[in-house]
Amino acid sequence: MNQSKTQPSRRAVTKTLMTALGSAMLAIVGADTWAQTAAYPDKPIKWVVPVPAGGGMDAVSRIVSAGMATALNQPIVVDNRAGAAGTMGTGYVAQSAADGYTVLTIDNSLFTTAHLVFSKLPYAAPKDLKLVATLVRIPLVLAVPGDSPSKTFQDFIQSSKANPGKISYGSPGVGSPLHVGMELLQTRTGTKMLHVPYRGMSNILTDLSTGTIGAALVDFGSARSFAESGRIRILAVGTEMRLSQLPAVPTLDELEVKNVPISLWFALAVPAGTPEAAVTRLAHAAQLSLESPEAKSKFETIGAQVFLKTGAEVAAFGREQAVFWEGIVKPMGIKLD
């Protein structure tokens, strides 16, 4: 009788203890995840753009961050930290607290090839940085002066082969995606041209339009007005599909120049070690921003294409890009310091 009265009491005590222990374990294991999912973000986020204001990366960052601020219900402050070809601002973020409150726009070269051309960097990608999501891709197009005798891509290649080293091309700098892309194009086509580095795309387009240089890979957004006015002629598109704005211009793949994926891509990154829950929230907010009609309309004006990858897909993409471009750039032996 007494045993039957005390047994339920023991079970109750045991159940209470197990419940308390389970709650404690959940609190210990899941505290960070819970904090991130329930409270993150609870203050403004700093978005570092490692180039000066006014360019394509800056424009994309401001478009996407505006939509993400609405989705996250927190202000996002864009901070342009230019210097050392973008590596200074990138290093700043890599060394920041991994709490989800400092994020970065990164591009092809800063993520995949900068370590090959700079002997010393304030960061190591991908060890110090984690890709949250790819954002957009800006197609690169091969352009020549508007009065060039090369009316087609085939004309241009024939002329380049007939005059090795005599046709000059411009790029925004040694080791930039546009420089590396043009070097890859020469490798694939068996041509040799003279590289002329510039400071900024506007100077390249000006000299291209006047015939000071004979060719350049340029982003379509910057080149659009020059092409529409006839000051330059676009011969080929670097992405796998033709551009809707240039339906008559073939892709390099169509021209039988294979495995030359020349475009600019921009991605959102955070310091390595940022809690996965914060990464997931940022990725979801980026998706909402990219899918908004307002953002798509603005991307159209700068020649950008939505290029969204998140989670395991963006991690795989980052690894593939690093391997591919290292195989291209390393043999070139390009060094900037």
pLDDT tens-digit profile, the chain (337 residues)? 444 444 445 554 444 444 444 444 333 333 344 344 568 999 999 999 998 887 789 999 999 999 999 999 999 999 999 888 889 999 999 999 999 999 999 999 899 988 888 888 999 998 999 999 999 998 899 999 999 999 999 999 999 999 999 999 999 877 788 888 898 899 899 999 999 998 778 899 999 999 999 999 998 888 989 999 999 999 999 888 888 889 999 999 999 998 887 888 999 999 999 999 999 999 999 999 999 999 999 998 888 889 999 999 999 999 999 998 888 888 878 777 6
**Total number of domains constituting the chain:** 2
Cβ burial, residue 243 (10 Å; 0-12/13-18/19+): middle
Give domain status of residue 38, yes or no: no
Dihedrals phi, psi of 259, to nearest 5 degrees:
60, 45
In a domain, 287, yes or no: yes
Q: What is the pTM of this model?
A: 0.79
Q: How many residues does the chain have?
A: 337
| One domain, residues 133 and 145 | no
Verify that 181 and 207 share a domain, yes or no.
yes
What Å distances lie between residue 73 and 20, 135, 295, 301, CA to CA? 35, 20, 18, 27
* Domain, as residue range, for 309: 45-137+264-332
For residue 122 the two structure tokens come to 């304030």
User: Is the residue at 20 inside a domain?
Assistant: no
Sign of CA dihedral 271, 275, 279, 282: negative
Nearby residues of 199 by Cβ (< 8 Å), 6 or more positions away: 172, 173
Which residue, of 237, 254, 286, is where some domain finishes?
237
Same domain, 133 and 144: no
DSSP assignment string, 196-230:
EE-SSHHHHHHHHHHTSSSEEEEEHHHHHHHHHTT
Q: Extract the tokens encoding 69.
A: 């601020």
Q: Do 90 and 50 touch, CB atoms closer than 8 A?
A: yes
Residue 81 lies inside a defined structural domain of this protein? yes
Together in a domain, 323 and 180: no
The per-residue pLDDT for 36 is 42
